[in-house]
Amino acid sequence: MEYFVQQLVNGLTLGSIYGLIAIGYTMVYGIIGMINFAHGDIFMIGSFVALIVFLVLTAVFYSLPVVLFLLIMMIVAMLTTSLYNWTIEKVAYRPLRGSFRLAPLITAIGMSIVLSNFVQVTQGPRNKPIPPMISKVYDIFGISISQKQIVIVLVTIGLLAIFWYLVNRTALGRAQRACEQDRKMAALLGIDVDRTISITFIMGASLAAVAGTLYLMYYGVVVFSDGFVPGVKAFTAAVLGGIGSIPGAVLGGLMIGFIESMWSAYFSIDYKDVAAFSILAIVLIFLPSGILGRPEVEKV
């Protein structure tokens, strides 16, 4: 029983990271109906920015508390990735918004390759490790829970509460929901659609940056190709939970995390990805819109 609960804790930690990344996919798709396949690489850039900030802080202000280290790393990573995503949306996606549906998708894949190779050239192809930031582990009834896992879960819960409030209780959230329902009508009613979409990209990038910082803190290493696999799994989580639904993205991320953790514990770790994608296929056969997704109704 202790082993089972231990895997639940590990799955919750991993699923929290996937859920943060998945929200970026689902927010962009909900408003403009586009899959931003460069989002995983934005997550990877957030990890690298956090790494650079960590190295600078340890070299100059090595006596700062760990909480301040993490906070500064997250803030700088959020600002940097927001600038990247805002630029990508403005330069690569906005001109193609009225084009046929495959054009933005192809462009997004191209931007993913550009960002990945850019980081490979500027930072090198090798793994970039950091010393452990938080190493304390608590033993509770035979279950090992590290401070890193507690930090990841608490940060995820806090950010989800903030973003839920922004989307459901603010003027920005009302504008986003209006653009999601009908962009043309929203524009006629005075909503700046371009600005709303840009802010949505910035919000998604900020969450990806936080996920990248937590990923670096948890695993202690990052490499230029780290945007691909977590990005694909986060996209899978968004589809599994119901793409376009923020709670669905979080639920899907947690499910992917639990599936990977349990499969690795009780079966072969080599096939954990196969298990996750198989569950996705099974769910979509019976629930094509995902667990919490709304079926699209085409008006005629």
Using CA atoms, how far apart are residues 114 and 38, in angstroms rounded to an integer?
Answer: 9
Task: Output the average pLDDT for the chain.
Answer: 88
User: What's residue 296's pLDDT?
Assistant: 60
Instruction: Indicate if the pLDDT at residue 298 is higher than 70.
Output: no
* Band of pLDDT at residue 152, cut at 50, 70 and 90: very high
- Listed residue (267, 212, 188) closest to 53, CA to CA: 212
Tokens (6 digits) for 277: 């994608």
Which pLDDT tens digit goes with each residue over 25-83? 998 888 888 888 899 999 999 999 999 999 998 888 877 788 888 999 999 999 999 99
Q: What is the pTM of this model?
A: 0.91
Q: Which residues pair with 139 in a beta bridge?
A: 144
Which pLDDT tens digit goes with each residue over 255-287? 999 988 988 888 877 778 788 788 878 887 888
Which pLDDT tens digit goes with each residue over 190-230? 999 999 999 999 999 999 999 999 999 999 999 998 998 88
Which pLDDT tens digit goes with each residue over 231-242? 888 988 888 888
* Band of pLDDT at residue 300, cut at 50, 70 and 90: very low
